[in-house]
Structure 1
């Protein structure tokens, strides 16, 4: 999701991934799947095949671990602040430090695959830095971010200029 706020002295672009389920919904899914696996394992154990219990536990454990990892990544955010002379980039992922770029030396590059086999990559580039932005966004949001950064007055180009 891309949201833009214009203030008198700066403009702010906030980025966050689309989230179809909150953590509470994921916990309900985990509990439901654990309940179903427990019922099935209990029925098999009732017929003497008790070895099903460890595999049911492993299955539920892996589901819970994967749902936790995916849910954790949906809470990532990135903020781009465009001031008169500087561009500030701040992220909440893995204790990354804020990055400040000189606005007059900054341009935006969008690299795409020839047949759209992977998502386009957006990078803010200066002579000293290459900062990827919006890595967690879907394709529509990445194109929207590209257009919003162009509206901020940052020079932008695409590696495949003939597309779209």
Structure 2
């Protein structure tokens, strides 16, 4: 998912994975699954088959942990701020863990063609010293939309297959 807005004299592009469900909805699903599972486990425990109950609990703990892990990964953000003089790239979960600050005139977009028709292009921002990928989790349409938004702000200096990229 891509959002952009203007903040003072800069354009801010926020890139994040699609989130099909909220954490609250995941908790409701976990509760809905827990009731019959624990009910059956308690029923079997009352009939003397008590080893079923811990396994039912472990199954629900594993499901809850998996839901939490997926939800946490969907909180990943990439924020590109393009001002008159600088380009700032921030990546992280909830808060920026990595950031780059480059001069705008030295920054450009690198586009690597998709390997097949179902993938979108790979997008990178680079300057003379380093580069960083953008939107690797986006769908084909979203990657093309991001490329259009980046082209409005920055030049595309390299375009082609991965083996042809030289920086």
Alpha-carbon deviation of 1:49? 2.5
Tell me what 2:165 maps to. Answer: none
Paired residue secondary structure (1:98): strand
Q: What are the Cα deviations for residues 67-98 of structure 1, in whole angstroms up to 9, with x where unaligned?
A: 00111122222211112221111233375232
Alpha-carbon deviation of 1:47? 4.0
Paired residue secondary structure (1:143): helix
Deviates more, 1:61-70 or 1:77-86: 77-86
Q: Which runs of 5+ in 1 are unaligned?
A: none
Q: Which runs of 5+ in 2 are unaligned?
A: 162-167
Tell me what 2:131 maps to. Answer: 130
Tell me what 1:145 maps to. Answer: 146
With structure 2 as the length reference, what TM-score do the two structures score?
Answer: 0.81
Measured at CA, do residues 124 and 32 of structure 1 come closer, stay the same or move farther in structure 2, by a change above 3 Å? same
| Greater fraction of residues in strand | 2
RMSD: 2.5
Residues 1:102 and 2:103 are matched in the alignment: yes
Q: Which runs of 4+ in 1 moved over 6 A?
A: none
Q: What are the Cα deviations for residues 126-151 of structure 1, in whole angstroms up to 9, with x where unaligned?
A: 22111122233333222211111011
Q: What are the Cα deviations for residues 12-54 of structure 1, in whole angstroms up to 9, with x where unaligned?
A: 1112222121111111111112212102222333443222112
With structure 1 as the length reference, what TM-score do the two structures score?
Answer: 0.82
Q: Does the 8 A contact of 2:108 with 2:154 survive in 1? A: no
Q: What are the Cα deviations for residues 89-114 of structure 1, in whole angstroms up to 9, with x where unaligned?
A: 12333752321122222222233452
The count of corresponding residues between Structure 1 and Structure 2 is: 161
Bigger relative contact order, structure 1 or 2 (CA pairs below 8 A, ≥6 apart):
1
Q: Does the 8 A contact of 2:119 with 2:139 survive in 1? A: no
Inter-partner Cα distance in structure 2 for 1:47 and 1:157: 69
What does 1:28-107 align with in structure 2 at a 5 Å threshold?
28-93=28-93, 95-107=96-108
Inter-partner Cα distance in structure 1 for 2:84 and 2:158: 21
Paired residue secondary structure (2:72): helix
Tell me what 1:18 maps to. Answer: 18
Q: Does the 8 A contact of 2:108 with 2:155 survive in 1? A: yes
